Structure 1
């Protein structure tokens, strides 16, 4: 069974993203990226991304990620904070340590596409 369905499909991951984004917008380091942004739209896009990557174990097109994040000027420290919050949300959502490690490895593989400032 794939990781998307293993934990309950779109409903589970939607709840996960609700927890995650509540924490992200509360982060002093990251909140600036979400001012005047449609968080519900972002979450909808991420549900699709999670489904693509967790069902098929596919890899999201790096050019698209880079294009979407370049103007955000995301720093390495911000990415690290994002990973820390994501890790906590995975743990608090009862994702197994092994599955969490797989998901975090996938996310970290996109670091060069998302971070544009040291």
Structure 2
């Protein structure tokens, strides 16, 4: 069974993203990236990304990720804080450590598309 379905499909991941975005929009370090952004739209896009990567173990189009993040000015430190919050949210949501490590590795593989500042 794939990770997307293993934890409950769209309902589980939607709840996960609600908790995650509450945390990152409250983060002193990351909240600046979400001022004036449509969080519901971002979450709906991420459900699609999660489904593509966790169901098929496919690769999300890097050009789309790069284009979506190029004007955000995301630094390596921002990315690391984001990963830390994502990891803790996976854990708090009941995702096993082994599965969380695999999911985080998938996300880490997109670092070069997301980080735009040294």
TM-score, with normalisation over the residues of structure 2? 0.98
Q: Which residue of 1 aligns with 2:29?
A: 29
TM superposition shift of 1:63: 1.2
Q: Which residue of 2 aligns with 1:7?
A: 7
Q: Distance in 1 between matches of 2:34 and 2:79?
A: 14
Q: Distance in 1 between matches of 2:9 and 2:50?
A: 10
SS at match of 1:37: coil
TM superposition shift of 1:64: 1.1
Q: Distance in 2 between matches of 1:68 and 1:38?
A: 13
| Count of residues paired in the alignment | 118
Structure 1 runs not aligned, ≥5 long: none
**Does the alignment pair 1:87 with 2:87?**
yes
TM superposition shift of 1:16: 0.2
Q: Which residue of 2 aligns with 1:43?
A: 43
TM-score, with normalisation over the residues of structure 1? 0.98
Q: Distance in 2 between matches of 1:42 and 1:36?
A: 12
Q: Distance in 1 between matches of 2:78 and 2:116?
A: 11
Q: Which residue of 2 aligns with 1:78?
A: 78
1:16-67 C-alpha deviation (Å, 9 max, x unpaired): 0001000000111110111111111110110011011100000101111111
Structure 2 runs not aligned, ≥5 long: none
Of Structure 1 and Structure 2, which has the larger fraction of its residues in strand?
1
